[in-house]
Structure 1
Amino acid sequence: MLGCVIHGENDLRVDELPAPSPGPGQALVAVRYGGVCGSDLHYWRHGGVGDFRLREPMVLGHEVVGTVLSYGDGASGPVPGTAVAVHPATPCGVCPECADGRRNVCRDTRYLGSAARMPHIQGGFSAQVTVPTEQLRALPAGLELRRAALAEPLSVALHAVRRAGSVSGRHVLVTGAGPIGCLVVAAAKAAGAARVTATDLLPEALAYAASAGADSVVRADDPGDPGWPSEVDVAIEASGVAAGLDTCLRLVRRGGVVVQLGMLPPGLSSFAGNLVVSREIELRGAFRFDTEFDEALTLLAAEPAFDGLISAVVPVREAESAFALAADRGRSCKVLLDFAS
């Protein structure tokens, strides 16, 4: 079968891989679509994500959907042929974080397509993949596989909005209008935000943010843009650059909340830390998600407008061109790999 494997920085290959067999407690899934994530792009372009560095070849991908093929010994779940989304995380269930109900920051989790541990956890960008049965989610009625491929990044966005606390009736700023930022816009509106302002450097990205529900969009490099708010109640930083965090800290009201969602570069990042003190701003991190995955599937089933964020579907044999397209935010939002062939 074909799989999308990263061998090192700028060394992405579509390799022939052995077809897997499900072990005890596992399901075998025929993957149909896989969403190219920002972390996949970082592995491709830089050989790592944040502090997670590539040390061996790894199948990429953690945003995957498909159909159940079979089960291993003692395993059961949705009947073969059922369309499913795959929750990419397998938390340990016994560490202090899991015991505290924060499984998304489990210290011993296994996450598809991650170099956080050695050996690396192989990802889902292959024609077939085996996963623990508890990671399967049958799709709600009316949700087709193509849109369901947004479930993982939408879960990230839902978790970031949840980390901000209640946004109902609030003005929310989102810095960075990539795929995650656009989904944060949609998640904030779904949570009752009265107004959402999105910023980015690219007009094409801002157009996607507007389609996701942003009430106003602002060029991040234009201080004279009339769309800039004087202040906001909540700010969610989704660009992964220190300048975005600085913007959030300067625009959030006194006593407001800033959520850092974008993964900043490794090492130290400078930001206006004194504002955290003098304005009693609450700065919170947001990492991955947990139960939000089920909420994401429900929201996707109810809202066809999410289809507009999928800008291209590319055959897996053309994976490198798909990655290049996904990296060019002037031409794309969310790019999917198609494993149907």
Structure 2
Amino acid sequence: MVLGCVIHGRGDLRVEELPEPEPAPGQALLAIRYGGICGSDLHYHRHGGVGDFLLQEPMVLGHEVVGTVVAYGEGATATATGPEVGTPVAVHPATPCEVCPECADGRANVCRDTRYLGSAARFPHVQGGFASRIAVPAAQLRALPDGLDPRRAALAEPLSVALHAVRRAGPVQGRHVLVTGAGPIGCLTIAAARAAGAATITATDLLPRALEFAAAAGASACVRADDPDDPNWPSDEVDVAIEASGVAAGLDTCLRRVRRGGVVVQLGMLPPGQSPFAGNVLVSREIELRGALRFHAEFDDALRLLAAEPSFDALISGVRPMGEAAEAFALAADRSRSCKVLLDFA
């Protein structure tokens, strides 16, 4: 029996039986072990959509998944395409078109016709990975490095997002990096900046528990974003600022705290519609404002970094069986208690 976490509409998340998947030509069949609950999954659950992408049909959620290879479809074999049957793997959730100008330019993460697991951006929706068995293109499988526990490997997708954001910022070695927002992505961005050689990392958030996770991720200083008198605010301007909260106030902080000629990376997804920002500061200080969307080649780098750093385990604040999906989503939505929450499909 195949069970999956299916979103039917706002607040309507069900664990239900699904058809047994058959791997199509070029696909692999996986037994999923862990799935990380992402902010987009929470948006589908709480709002029935993410930004302008609204649910039009029931959809299996999830794109942060790891599992084991069970079988291959026609034309996809372990020797030609993917790891051997029985191999623990992580799943790269994107299937770029490979023909658009962006793909041709090596920027498949902004492919104009990509397919992404658990996304309502197109119709029919792309079904996600929160199911005990799924079929995916074999080319999207990555064998886990030796010694990498599947539980920690479930962080590969969000860590890839963080690695891409840090790379969008340019060289950070020896520099002071500000990260606004200490949710799961913000904390992983802190870890990514640390791995890239940042000398000092300041993290801001409204919640004390979130700042504790930021410290565990490697932040040098943790600041209450709503307290202008917090002594941990940097006394000098920072070199790079990465906005990971997804709120306009976070972007404003980044623009006002970064040095003249510095770089601000907008990583958090801002609310739909227009967002006010300090445009005059951007101009008068000649600040570079860059967007960061998803990732591409960083997925393999994320797996290597996770294998080398057991400290990432501290960011996994809860693991719940799939049958308790509703409770797991409630925990993941409560940032006063959690950082990254995983579903266990064993």
- Normalising TM by the smaller chain, what interval? over 0.9
Matching residue of 1:75: 76
Encode CA deviations 1:105-153: one digit per residue, 9 max, x unaligned. Answer: 0000000000111111000000001111110000001101000000000
| SS in structure 1 of the partner of residue 274 of structure 2 | coil
Deviation of 1:297 (Å): 0.2
Tell me the distance in 1 between the aligned counterparts of 2:249 and 2:46. Answer: 21
Q: How big is each residue's C-alpha offset from its partner over 1:203-227, in whole Å with a ceiling of 9 and x where there is no partner? A: 0000000000000000001000011
- Three-state SS of the structure 2 residue aligned to 1:21 is coil
Match runs of 1:188-267 below 5 Å: 188-229=193-234, 230-267=236-273
| CA distance in structure 1 between the partners assigned to 2:116 and 2:303 by the alignment | 19
| Partners of 2:238 and 2:92 in 1: CA distance | 33
Q: Secondary structure at the match of 2:259?
A: strand
Of the three residues 93, 112, 122, the one matched with 2:117 is 112
Q: Identify the residue that residue 92 of structure 1 maps to in structure 2.
A: 97
Taking every aligned residue pair, what percent have the same amino acid on both sides? 79
Q: 1:282 aligns with which of 274, 288, 292?
A: 288
Partner of 2:17: 16
Report what 2:330 is aligned to: 324
Q: Which amino acid aligns with 1:132?
A: P
Task: Give TM-score scaled by structure 1 length.
Answer: 0.99
The CA distance in 2 between the partners of 1:57 and 1:177, in whole Å, is: 31
For this pair of structures, how many residues does the alignment match? 340
Q: List alignment gaps of at least 5 residues for structure 2.
A: none
1:38-187 equivalences under 5 Å are 38-76=39-77, 77-187=82-192
Query: Which residue pairs with 2:302 in the alignment?
Result: 296
* 1:28-60 deviation digits (Å, cap 9, x = unpaired): 000000000000000100111122211111100
Q: Distance in 2 between matches of 1:255 and 1:48?
A: 37
Instruction: Kindly provide the CA deviation profile for residues 179-223 of structure 1, in whole angstroms up to 9, marking residues without a partner as x.
Output: 000000000000010000000000000000000000000000100
- 1:299 partner SS: helix
Deviation for aligned residue 1:161 = 0.2
| 1:311 maps to which of 317, 326, 341 | 317
- Alpha-carbon separation, structure 1, partners of 2:152 and 2:17: 27
- Secondary structure, aligned partner of 1:15: strand
Counterpart in 2 of 1:29? 30
CA distance in 2 between partners of 1:163 and 1:80 (Å): 36
- Shift, 1:74, TM fit: 1.2
In 2, Cα distance between equivalents of 1:181 and 1:6: 26
Secondary structure in 2 aligned to 1:45?
A: helix
Which aligned runs of 4 or more in structure 1 are off by greater than 4 angstroms? Answer: none
Counterpart Cα distance in 1 of 2:118 and 2:254: 30
Q: Which amino acid aligns with 1:13?
A: R
The Cα shift of 1:287 comes to 0.3
Whichever residue aligns with residue 40 of structure 2, its letter is S
Separation in 2, partners of 1:54, 1:228: 41
For residues 136 and 168 of structure 1, the distance between their equivalents in structure 2, rounded to whole angstroms, comes to 31
Structure 1: stretches of 5+ with no match in the other structure:
none
Which AA in structure 2 matches 1:19?
E
Tell me how far apart the structure 2 counterparts of residues 35 and 266 of structure 1 sit (CA, whole Å).
24
Aligned mates of 2:219, 2:99 — CA distance in 1: 40
Return the TM-score normalized by structure 2. 0.98
Q: Which residue identity lines up with residue 266 of structure 2 in the other structure?
A: Q
